[in-house]
Structure 1
């Protein structure tokens, strides 16, 4: 096989928060990945500390890259393209991964692609379920983002934001409520474990932005968090025990109800047939179960990546890079800058010249 006909082997690099990820994808297939997390180092602070995350990325980069190469059964010299998260994320953390990716691309003399982190979450589903349909609604729900997107071709077409969160993302709300209940960090898994023993109807917490006249696809979780805090304070003032499991289950159900209701509303308004849920909170068992039940009832196909591809990882960034390469997109320059506050308009960062945001 000639060099030009050789399938692309794309290395993806992710470092936007507290996971250091390297993944290797070729022609839509995940070959292997390596992942390291600094979550345990942030637990005592109740959230991610950017400086600690950046140092952890520095320490983990080389060993995690070696893990990915070994898992994929390839050598570094087999890599034909490199893709890296260039935003959004914690500035110091993004810079570490991007610098590593630029170094690898320069050393191998291969093209480099800057990738939007949230497009990576969307592309993660393609590694499990194949190409996305021509049009779909994608719910991205994670620690820092909660958005409903109308997506056509993920890497060729502009991405339409139907709605975003006005305040806390769903994942942030999980973290804050977990702290209120003394469940620790990260909050999502902690709330889910506690909720297994609780009654989701024990407390009637608010479902924000679901009233007639509210923005149909916009989220707000700050009021829900406040309602939980007031419930806990009221019980403690009265000298009553705090039913942690019931509060966790009721809170979780309130979040899930809003996420699923608004997402299905978007699917039906756009006359589409597929809902894709991605991001760290997509690993939540209650969300997966309720979404499946309600999608089945509505005749909507539900796609959610396996839990291993929901949280931040290098495979999802490699998946975007692979799609960009196969679409014929031109690479980014080695000199492009990180954009820690990048808004999702397209999968590639910076946006290609002439791309209509």
Structure 2
């Protein structure tokens, strides 16, 4: 696909690695064509970005089989909605991109099945995408961040990442549970609603908190651990409810965990001499996290980039974005290789579209 002629790539993205089902359509425009020796920086045009969320009752988590049922029953309607919003049809697609992993097995399988079926019916190439890389490329496209340290924080992932030699290198990560998982599980203890998300509701409670309660702070080099702090605060909420308000507990939990993230992110910035931080993933919507990260970056003469709920929460257009970049470098996924994996690490991806 190395050509000097103008080139346009239209990609359909299907995301369903957790309880969000997202369908997105993006158009990349290369006015001067695609060169094999240059980093890809197409003109980005968003055509559609629709999403539907499976929300269990308050106090309950979501089971993979229930999420898979939701995705299977909703995905065709969402795809039609996306085409209507984009004002295009299957004949206009250059590739169909789907989340290969990481994520929950049953939901991933449901979406991958639809992707490979449509690929064969419409005779459109298939592109398997790493969920984490999708977040990063979406963040870069929306914010304009050039070469940032990336803090990726979501329900299933917590990583500090930096780019080097066509790979997103993991500098530090959680040693046990992800920060979003920690927030979700504590929200269940407090019986907070799952709509729009447990983490969002904890954020609202935390805004009303004023008393800081000292909690375990576990940073080990460039890595963090959240399981201990979760066990500690769960016990407090259950046995000392008369002493500590839910608002103060949420406030203290956020402040402690976010301080841990700021520490390891700053250490990564110092190591590579970066001045930019890009916060991606569902927890990246948290305004307090953005404030704390912004203060740290400002003190270093840097800047923080973040997106709103349209892009930081799992969505289909981020899969279309990363998939279209890979497709421009001639990457496709055969039907035989269109399996999914719950363990697909960020640093396993060859980021061929960057130099």
What's the TM-score bracket when you normalise by the shorter of the two chains? 0.7 to 0.9
The number of residues matched between the two structures is 331
Whether the 8 Å contact between 2:22 and 2:314 is mirrored in structure 1 is yes
Q: Does 1:70 align with 2:81?
A: no
Residues 113, 321 of structure 1: 8 Å contact kept: yes
Report the TM-score when normalising by structure 2. Answer: 0.88
Name which of 218, 226, 240 aligns with 2:223.
Answer: 218
User: What is the CA-CA distance between 1:347 and the residue it aligns to?
Assistant: 4.0
Partner residue, 2:39: none
Q: How does 1:45-56 map to 2 (within 5 A)?
A: 46-56=60-70
Residue equivalent to 1:170: 179
Alignment of 1:188-267 (within 5 A): 188-199=199-210, 201-209=211-219, 214-215=220-221, 217-236=222-241, 240=242, 242-267=244-269
Helix, strand or coil at the partner of 2:67: helix
The residue aligned with 1:124 is 138
Shift of 1:329: 3.2
What is the aligned counterpart of 2:107 among 65, 69, 93? 93
| CA-CA distance at 1:220 after TM superposition | 0.4
Aligned to 2:158: 146
Deviation at residue 129 of structure 1 after TM alignment = 2.0
Task: Name the structure 2 match of 1:160.
Answer: 169
How far apart, CA to CA, are the structure 2 residues paired with 1:44 and 1:243? 19
Distance 1:45 1:291 in 2: 30
Q: Distance in 1 between matches of 2:170 and 2:7?
A: 37
8 Å CA contact 1:128–1:306 kept in 2: the answer is: no
Q: TM-score, normalised by structure 1?
A: 0.87
- 1:275-308 residue CA offsets vs partner (Å, 9 max, x unmatched): 1110010011111121122212211221112221
Is the 8 Å Cα contact of residues 104 and 342 (structure 2) preserved in structure 1? yes
What RMSD, in angstroms, separates the aligned Cα atoms of the two structures?
A: 2.1
Check whether the contact 2:100–2:129 (CA below 8 A) recurs between aligned residues.
yes
Residue 9 of structure 1 is matched in structure 2 by 10
- For structure 1, the 5+ residue unaligned runs are 353-357
Answer 1 or 2: which has greater strand percent.
Answer: 2
Q: For the residues of structure 2 that align with 1:224 and 1:21, how far apart are their CA atoms?
A: 32
